[in-house]
């Protein structure tokens, strides 16, 4: 019981902070929106023709949603580097509570806030001529939670041993940005060089973007074309994402619990 | 029973020994200070006592529990106020306390009673529902102290509790700490590098380079200085020290502030010394100033370590601390 209470407490704090901090919500919507508006409109004339006349903005939209989820999730996890020294987490780490519960609470909190952020972007779907039925919404929320949980666990795994913010910038530049760019968020991963194809295959974000794209564009793009723009069947994407989540989650919790 | 018993606590980081063979006991209800310069090992010691760091060797019992074998029981029985604020800025004072109560599994009714009582004591009740980021440094500290006591700990640890606060606020915080000790009966262990702050303690351990170099009451520590302290500034302190030794058999120490002499009835010594300097055989020394005072902990510290305060190299944590201050400052 008390174990769950700790998970709940840590989760609740993240959610409460998120809801209270309106400026952060707005400012973290900025970057994905810039990508969507500038890249979307800038590249649309060149790209649309090559994609079976699918509007590039519609194609890009799922990628941008996953971007919002991905970055919010990883940032929320990596904030523990900061929070551990100068924040509330320090107070949590000396409390008589199991560290595993703290780590899981952090995964839950990061996933929930990332999901919120994703929902805020999904609301903008009509702007890029994408229509979402209720069933798509439900599926998407569940999938956003899965991608967010995967990436939060990944972030905690990285941050558990990190002692400085320099390491954080390293990680941003050499891990997170490539993971995002290679995921197929910006362009279809068809006919790309072999090395890129393989890197994309080991990148967990690829499966998130692919899954999002299938569900988001289901009612907008003809099925045949959608199949050309995506890589794997939806189930495969979800199973692999789940596998990645577990692959990150256990070492993340373990590393977090072990830290001094 | 003792609230804290440390036996040969040692902690190494790679080749560097941060704390070496530190042993001491703190009685229940006592206010105990760890005094030393930055990097002397104060925070490392506190972290070991609070189970945040495992000792490389040695043991400690806090509240009757072994920090290695029963870290959970130790944590239940201690409260902590860190050097860096660990409040959630975005939440209100009350919410911060509420999260603490959740983590320490306090029953709801008990939490409400305690929170109101403690906020009242630290004079923050009327600000209970304000966001913490609007608080001044002193208010944040008071809130952290109240939070540290929320779960009725046997020992309250304060790591540099008034660092970065102005003197008036520091005094105010100490009034609160002492009145809380009187009302709650908790033992208080704190670290500081402010000499005047250490005077609030019943007993002081002076720590330098990871070792305890003296441990006693403030009065006894000051009594180790034989009598008064005479501080003289002359045109050449080096020659002056030599003359004092030759003519008056007085040991004087060169410090940044001037020439330091410990002596009984130093007031009567002043004319002799000034006379000696100004009418010397080879050359006269000019006396700029003479200062007589009762010994302070500063003098004790200088006597024991041969210097005043020493600064450590900036660790990654320090750099992060600095950038966090700049960053937070720029957002205000």
Every domain of chain B and the residues it spans = 2-221, 226-294
Nearest CA in chain A to B157: A94
Residue B331's pLDDT band (cuts 50, 70, 90)? very low
Helix (H) / strand (E) containing A47: helix A40-48
Report the residue from B53, B75, B103 with minimal CB separation from A6.
B103
**In chain A, positions 2-21, which contact chain B (CB-CB < 8 Å)?**
2, 5-6, 9, 13, 16-17, 20-21
pLDDT digits (tens, 9 = 90+) for A61-73: 999 999 999 999 9
CB A130 within 8 A of CB A215: no
pLDDT tens, per residue, chain A with 260 residues? 588 999 999 999 999 988 888 887 888 888 888 888 888 888 888 877 777 778 888 899 999 999 999 999 998 888 888 888 778 888 898 899 999 999 999 999 999 999 999 999 999 888 888 889 999 999 999 999 999 999 999 999 988 878 777 777 787 788 889 999 999 988 888 888 999 999 999 999 999 999 999 999 988 888 888 888 888 999 999 999 999 999 999 999 999 988 76
Q: What is the mean pLDDT of chain B?
A: 86
Q: Do B84 and A85 touch (CB under 8 A)?
A: yes
The Cα B184–Cα A167 span in angstroms is 44
Q: Do A260 and B76 touch (CB under 8 A)?
A: no
Residues in chain B closer than 8 A to A96 (CB atoms): 72-73, 75-76, 103-104
Stated pTM of the model: 0.82
Distance from CA of A164 to the nearest CA of B (A): 6
Q: Which residues pair with B161 in a beta bridge?
A: none
The Cα A12–Cα A107 span in angstroms is 12
Nearest CA in chain B to A5: B102
Instruction: Give the B-side interface with A, CB within 8 Å.
Output: 50-54, 72-73, 75-76, 78, 80, 82, 84-88, 90-91, 95-96, 99-100, 102-105, 147, 316-317, 319-321, 323-324
The Cα B14–Cα B259 span in angstroms is 40
- The per-residue pLDDT for B282 is 61
For range B121-147, the mean pLDDT: 92
**In chain A, positions 194-223, which contact chain B (CB-CB < 8 Å)?**
none
**In chain A, positions 19-58, which contact chain B (CB-CB < 8 Å)?**
20-21
Neighbour-count burial for B61-85, b at 16+ CB within 10 Å, e otherwise:
bbbebebeebbebbbbbbbbbbbbb
- Please, is B176 exposed, middle or buried when counting C-beta atoms within 10 Å of its C-beta (0-12, 13-18, 19+)? middle
CB B316 within 8 A of CB A164: yes
Residues in chain B closer than 8 A to A2 (CB atoms): 105
Report the residue from B86, B95, B105 with minimal CB separation from A87.
B86
The Cα A165–Cα A75 span in angstroms is 12
Question: Which residue has tokens 């979307």?
Answer: A40
Q: Which residues pair with B214 in a beta bridge?
A: B206
Residue B308's pLDDT band (cuts 50, 70, 90)? low
A151 Cβ contact partners less than 8 Å away, ≥ 6 residues apart: A69, A70, A73, A74, A77, A114, A204, A205
Nearest to B321 by CA among A163, A181, A103: A163
pLDDT digits (tens, 9 = 90+) for B86-126: 899 889 999 999 999 999 999 999 999 999 999 998 899 99
Give the pair of three-digit tokens for residue B65.
Answer: 């529990």
Distance from CA of B236 to the nearest CA of A (A): 48
Distance from CA of A8 to the nearest CA of B (A): 9
The Cα B259–Cα B226 span in angstroms is 16
Cβ-based neighbour number of residue B167 at 10 Å: 10
The Cα B110–Cα B152 span in angstroms is 11
CA atoms within 13 Å, Cβ hemisphere of B103:
32
Q: Which CATH class is domain B2-221?
A: alpha beta
- The per-residue pLDDT for A253 is 94
B14 Cβ contact partners less than 8 Å away, ≥ 6 residues apart: none
Distance from CA of A9 to the nearest CA of B (A): 7
The Cα B217–Cα B204 span in angstroms is 6
Rounded to 5°, angle at Cα A52 from A51 and A54: 70
Q: Looking at the complex, does the CB of residue A80 fall below 8 Å from at least one CB of chain B?
A: no
- The per-residue pLDDT for B281 is 62
CB B277 within 8 A of CB B247: no
Distance from CA of B104 to the nearest CA of A (A): 7
In CATH, what number does B226-294 get? 3.30.70
Residues in chain B closer than 8 A to A17 (CB atoms): 88, 90-91
Residues in chain B closer than 8 A to A257 (CB atoms): none
Distance from CA of A17 to the nearest CA of B (A): 6
Report the residue from A17, A95, A164 with minimal CB separation from B104.
A95
Residues in chain A closer than 8 A to B133 (CB atoms): none
CB A130 within 8 A of CB A58: yes
């Amino acid at each position: 019981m008390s174990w769950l209470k700790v998970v709940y407490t840590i989760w609740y704090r993240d959610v409460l902070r998120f809801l209270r901090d309106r400026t952060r919500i707005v400012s973290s919507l900025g970057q994905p929106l810039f990508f969507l508006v500038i890249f979307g409109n800038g590249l649309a004339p060149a790209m649309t023709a090559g994609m079976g006349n699918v509007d590039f903005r519609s194609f890009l939209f799922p990628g941008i949603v996953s971007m919002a989820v991905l970055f919010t999730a990883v940032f929320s996890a990596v904030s523990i580097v900061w929070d551990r020294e100068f924040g509330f987490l320090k107070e949590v780490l000396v409390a008589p509570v199991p560290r595993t519960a703290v780590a899981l609470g952090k995964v839950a909190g990061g996933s929930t806030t990332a999901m919120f952020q994703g929902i805020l972007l999904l609301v903008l779907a009509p702007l890029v001529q994408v229509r979402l039925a209720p069933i798509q919404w439900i599926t998407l929320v569940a999938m956003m939670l899965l991608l967010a949980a995967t990436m939060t666990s990944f972030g905690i795994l990285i941050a558990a041993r990190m002692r400085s913010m320099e390491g954080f910038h390293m990680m941003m530049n050499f891990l997170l940005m490539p993971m995002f760019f290679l995921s197929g968020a910006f362009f279809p991963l068809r006919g790309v060089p072999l090395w890129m194809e393989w890197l994309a295959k080991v990148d967990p974000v690829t499966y998130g973007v692919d899954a999002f794209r299938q569900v988001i564009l289901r009612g907008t793009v003809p099925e045949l074309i959608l199949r050309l723009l995506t890589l794997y069947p939806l189930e495969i994407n979800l199973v692999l994402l789940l596998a990645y989540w577990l692959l990150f989650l256990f070492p993340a919790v373990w590393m977090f619990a072990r830290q001094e | 029973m003792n609230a804290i018993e440390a036996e040969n606590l040692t902690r190494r980081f790679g080749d560097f020994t941060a704390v070496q063979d530190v042993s001491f006991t703190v009685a229940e209800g006592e206010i105990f200070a760890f005094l030393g310069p930055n990097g002397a090992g104060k925070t490392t010691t506190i972290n070991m006592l609070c189970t945040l760091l495992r000792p490389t060797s040695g043991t400690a019992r806090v509240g009757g529990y072994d920090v290695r074998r029963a870290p959970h029981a130790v944590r239940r029985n201690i409260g902590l106020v860190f050097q860096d604020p660990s409040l959630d800025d975005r939440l209100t004072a009350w919410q911060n306390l509420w999260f603490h109560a959740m983590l320490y599994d306090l029953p709801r009714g008990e939490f409400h009673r305690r929170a109101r009582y403690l906020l009242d004591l630290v004079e923050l009740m009327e600000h209970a529902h304000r966001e913490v980021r609007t608080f001044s440094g002193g208010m944040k500290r008071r809130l952290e102290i109240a939070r540290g006591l929320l779960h009725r700990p046997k020992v309250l640890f304060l790591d540099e509790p008034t660092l970065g606060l102005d003197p008036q606020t520091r005094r105010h915080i100490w009034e609160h700490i002492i009145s809380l000790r009187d009302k709650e009966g908790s033992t208080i262990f704190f670290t500081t590098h402010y000499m005047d702050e250490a005077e609030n303690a019943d007993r002081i351990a002076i720590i330098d380079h990871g070792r305890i170099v003296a441990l006693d009451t403030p009065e006894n520590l000051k009594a180790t200085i034989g009598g008064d302290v005479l501080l003289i500034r002359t045109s050449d302190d080096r020659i002056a020290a030599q003359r004092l030794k030759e003519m008056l058999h007085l040991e004087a120490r060169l410090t940044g502030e001037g020439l330091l002499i410990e002596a009984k009835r130093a007031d009567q010594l002043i004319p002799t010394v000034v006379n000696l300097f100004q009418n010397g055989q080879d050359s006269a020394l000019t006396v700029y100033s003479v200062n007589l005072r009762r010994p302070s902990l500063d003098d004790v510290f200088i006597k024991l370590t041969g210097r005043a305060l020493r600064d450590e190299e900036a660790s990654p944590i320090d750099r992060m601390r600095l950038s966090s201050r700049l960053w937070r400052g720029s957002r205000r």
